[in-house]
Structure formats: C-alpha cells, structure tokens
Amino acid sequence: MSDPRLAIIPGRFDNVERIIAVSSGKGGVGKSMVAVALALSLRAHSHKVGLLDLDFTSPSTHVILGVEGLYPEEEKGITPPESQGLSYMSIVHYSADEPVPLRGLDASNAIIELLAITRWEELDYLIIDMPPGIGDATLDMLRLIPRIEFLVVTTPSRLAYESVRKLLVLLKDQKIPTIGVVENMVVKQTDFIKEEIHKIGSRYLGAIDHDASAEAAIGHLEKLEMTHFYRQVEKIGEGI
Amino acid sequence: MHEWALAEGIVKTADKFAEDQGIEEITEVKIMIGELQQVEHEIIEFALDQLRTPRMKLAKFTIETSPARFKCRKCTHEWQLNTRNLDKETGEAIHFVPEMAHVYLTCPNCGSPDFEVTEGRGVWLVSIKGRKKE
C-alpha cells in the first residue's frame, strides 16, 4: 500500500500561488544567494513569500539570512517560523546546524517527511533553494510538487553550463515549466551562455555581475539589500 | 501536532484505497508505526477519530508499533534503540524528521553515522477490512 505521507503533500501547497525551485546542475554557482535575494526582493515588493531550504546536506540560507535558533510551531503539523518577513523552513531547525550525513534514500525520506508535515500559510511565492544536480531532491520535486516551476542558475563557466544544460534538457523532457536561466558571477560579459540557452529553447533571464560586496554581506541583510547583486536579482524577480 | 499530519495521510490513503477497491464501508484499519516516529498513540487515535470520512464512520483503528532497529554499514553491528532514552532535543528532532537520527546517533560499536534503519521507520497501512457494494 502506498506511503500515507504522499497522499497529503499536494494539498500542503494549496495556499501557495507560485512555487519556484531555484536550481542548478552544478554546486557553487550562487544558487542559495540568488534564492535568498529573490525571496527578500519579492517580499520587499509587498508579496507574501516563503523560503524552503531543501539542500539538506549543505544548508546555507540560514547563514545568508543570519538567523539561528529558530523552531517551528506545532499546529496539526508544523508551521514554518518567520524570519526577516519570510516563512522560513530549513532542516537546520531540526539538525541544530550539525552535519547531516544522509544517503540518497534517507535524504529522499527526509524531504518527503518535511513536505508532508509543513503547513504553509497563504503565500504569493514559495522559493525553494534546491541542492545541486539532478539527484533525489530534484526527482522528488518533479514527482511530488504540483505546479512547480524552475529558475536555473549557471555561471559563465562552460563546466557549470554543461551540467545546467542537462538539467534543462531533463526539465524540458519532463514538461516541467522553466522560467529561465540566470547567469551569475559574471566578470566579463560574453554571449556564450545566452546563445547556448537560446539554442535549447530556454529563456535567458539576465546576467548578475560578480560582486565581492555580496560575500561580505552574508549574514547582514541590511548590507545585502544595498548590494549591486541584490538589485540585479530584484530586477530579474520583477520579470518572472 | 505531527500526529495530525500522519493521521491525515492515513485517512486519505485508506479512503482512496477503499474507493479504488469498491469498498463501501471500512470496518477496520490496521496501522504500523515505526518507533523512531515516537508517535503518541492517544493523540493519533484522537486525530484519526476526528478525521474519519463517511466511509469509515464505524471503522476500528488498530495501531501497532514496530521497534527501531539499526545496522551499521561500516562495521555491520546491529542494535536496537529505546527512544525513551533520548534527550528532549534529540527526541523532538527525530520525532519530526526521523532521518535526523543520522545527526544525533552513531553506531555504539564504531561511532559511524553511516547506519541503516532496518526496522521501525515510517508509517504504513497493514490492512483494511470492509464491506464491498452488493
């Protein structure tokens, strides 16, 4: 008989207007920074926004937000705590920021458990910071989350793009809506990524310049919101 | 409460199964709950009672617990965990997301966090009894 948790997951998103997975084929492309800046900028435009960190083995959104010691409330499931105006859910609420060494099946079970018990309030956007690659978490999202859309992050590196291209092909083959691709950490603008994205029929959402001040703003939101990086993510957010 | 989420899943799955099998009235639902979930039986029984669908108005819910057993992938040591011995913080984290066992527990023989939960994880429906349409 089927897993009882699976029966309730789709309904957990009934109050959420748009579910956007910020994803990449490769790690280290700035996905979490883009996810947090996108969530904060949408909130700054008076939207109700949730942020879900699904990178269980390397969660980092709590570091960017500069929060610790949050704990969800229990109410016929669990309600995500509020952080910086966002409904915020992360495994660190339960792992106390200790290492989370999970094999694939365990990671998948943990994701299913968290999705089944989390009750999201009414949201305009739920931004999901995905782990890199096309492994368990990505496949679970494609299987379990209704109406999910992907916003894909790459860097100008051909190595990063090669992995991103595979993710884009998978999403296209599975007929999963893809908002488009963001080119992050751009030092010198070229058309390479833009042309490659157009070749496979996806949308190039824009370039984000490499911004050393963004690294210095990690954990300090008032500084992050002043960066060139944040403003560029905000502009991309206005177009989605 | 976490028990309510589990009860919601059990009721929806049982009702859908009955619908697919043409069962008009469910008389009994047997549920197995892994010890690692540390579910309060009284709360889940209350939640199941509150969430009953018309098809299971008179159904009896039977809940059994499967003990939590582990096997180390590194040294193959096997052991059983008494969840009552966990401290409050560890117990709560594992209650909500049982995979957090890998954060807080290690093999008592070699100290590795790379172990398998061989029994006592999850919630599943063992059987559903009922009457079909005549």
pTM here? Answer: 0.94
User: For the domain that residue B116 is a member of, what is the CATH number?
Assistant: 3.30.2320.80
Average pLDDT over residues B42-48: 94
User: What type of residue sits at position A180?
Assistant: G
| B6 shares contact with chain A (CB less than 8 Å) | yes
The CATH superfamily of A4-238 is: P-loop containing nucleotide triphosphate hydrolases (3.40.50.300)
Q: A174 exposed, middle or buried (CB, 10 Å; 0-12, 13-18, 19+)?
A: exposed
- Return the pLDDT at B33: 92
SS3 B73: coil
Sign of torsion over alpha carbons B88, B89, B93, B98: negative
For A20, phi and psi rounded to 5 degrees? Answer: -115, 115
- How much is the pLDDT for A74? 84
Complete edge-to-edge strand list for the sheet that includes strand A82-83? A82-83, A86-90, A49-53, A123-129, A16-23, A148-154, A178-186, A204-209
Contacts of A92 in chain B (CB under 8 A): none
Are B98 and B117 a contacting pair, CB within 8 Å?
A: yes
The pLDDT tens digits for A27-50 are 999 999 999 999 999 999 999 999
Q: Among B47, B100, B124, whose Cβ lies nearest the Cβ of A1?
A: B124
pLDDT tens digits, residue range A196-236? 999 999 999 999 999 999 999 999 999 999 999 999 999 99
Nearest CB neighbour to B113, from listed A2, A75, A101: A101
Q: Which residue of B has its CA nearest to A2?
A: B13
Cβ–Cβ of B13/A7 closer than 8 Å?
A: yes
Nearest to A77 among B2, B113, B128 (CB): B2
Q: Residue A76: which of B5, B89, B93 has the nearest Cβ? A: B5
Strand-pairing partners, residue A207, are A183
Residues B103, A99: C-beta atoms closer than 8 Å = yes
- Report CB contact under 8 Å: B124, A8: no
- The alpha helices in chain A, defined as continuous H runs, are 4-8, 31-44, 61-65, 92-95, 104-117, 136-144, 158-173, 192-199, 212-216, 221-224, 228-238
B107–chain A nearest CA distance, Å: 13
- Rounded distance between C-alpha atoms, residue A213 and residue A192, angstroms: 26
Please give the single-letter amino acid code of residue A106.
Answer: D
Given the structure tokens 């980092």, which residue do they identify? A60
Q: Which of A226, A196, A191 is CA-nearest to residue A211? A: A226
Contact B100 A1 (CB under 8 A): no
- The total of other beta-carbon atoms located within 10 Å of residue A136's CB is 20
Residue in chain A lying closest to B14 (CA): A4
Residues A190 and A177: beta-carbon distance below 8 Å: no
Sort strands A123-129 and A148-154 into parallel, antiparallel or unpaired: unpaired
- Please, which pLDDT band fits residue B82 given cuts at 50, 70 and 90? confident
Find the CB nearest B8 among A3, A8, A96. Answer: A8
DSSP-assigned beta bridge partners for residue A53: A90, A129
**Residue B91 has which token pair?**
């117990």
Q: Residue A149 half-sphere exposure, CB side, CA atoms within 13 Å?
A: 15
Please give the radius of gyration of chain B, using alpha carbons only, rounded to the nearest integer. 17
Q: Please state, rounded to an integer, the average pLDDT across all residues of chain A.
A: 95
Paired strand residues for A213: none
Best residue in B6, B63, B97, B100 to probe A by mutation, most A CBs within 10 Å?
A: B97
User: What's the whole-number mean pLDDT along residues A49-61?
Assistant: 95
Domain count, chain B: 1
| pLDDT higher than threshold 60 for residue B1 | no
Listed residue (A125, A236, A239, A240) closest to A182, CA to CA: A236
Q: Do A7 and B9 touch (CB under 8 A)?
A: yes
Q: What is the pLDDT of residue A3?
A: 84
* pLDDT of the residue at A1: 61
* Residue range of the domain that includes B94: 2-132
Helix segments in chain B, DSSP class H: 2-20, 41-51, 88-96, 101-104
* ipTM at complex level: 0.89
3-state secondary structure A6-36: HHHCHHHHCCEEEEEEEECCCCCCCHHHHHH
What tokens does A61 get?
Answer: 């959104």
Average of pLDDT values for B74-94? 90
Q: Please report where in the chains the tokens 């949408």 appear, as a residue.
A: A42
Q: A4 and B10 in contact by Cβ < 8 A?
A: yes
Tokens of B92: 């709560």
